[in-house]
Structure 1
Amino acid sequence: MTRSVLMNYLGALKNPKTGIVANSLIFAILHVGNSYFNLIAFVNIFLMALYFLCFFI
C-alpha cells in the first residue's frame, strides 16, 4: 500500500527522491508497534524499504 500509493503521490507532489525517502520513513514508522522493536530494527526496516523501492522504480 505505501509503496504503490504513497510513493507515487509524494513523488508527484515534490520530487521522486523526496517520495522515496518519505515513503521509507513512513513505512518504518508504521512498524513501531511491533514487539521487540528498537533502533536497529527501525534502521533495518527503513533500509529495506529503500531497497524495495529501487526495485519498484
Structure 2
Amino acid sequence: MDNKVLQVIVALFIPPLAVYMKTGKIDNTFWLNVVLTILGGIPGLLHALYVVLM
C-alpha cells in the first residue's frame, strides 16, 4: 500500500494524524487542522486531504 493512500485513509478518521504523518512535525499546519477538526469535522477533513494530496 502506498504511503499516500494510507495517509488518505487516516485522514478520513483522524485528520490531524494524517497532517502530522505528511509534515513530520507539529507546526502551524498541524494546529490549524486540530482547530478545524474541533470546530467541525468536515473542515478538518478537507484541510487534511488538501495537505496530504498537495
TM-score w.r.t. length of structure 1:
0.36
> Which gives a bigger RCO, structure 1 or 2 (Cα 8 Å, sep 6+)?
2
TM-score w.r.t. length of structure 2:
0.38
The structure carrying a bigger helix percent of its residues is: 2
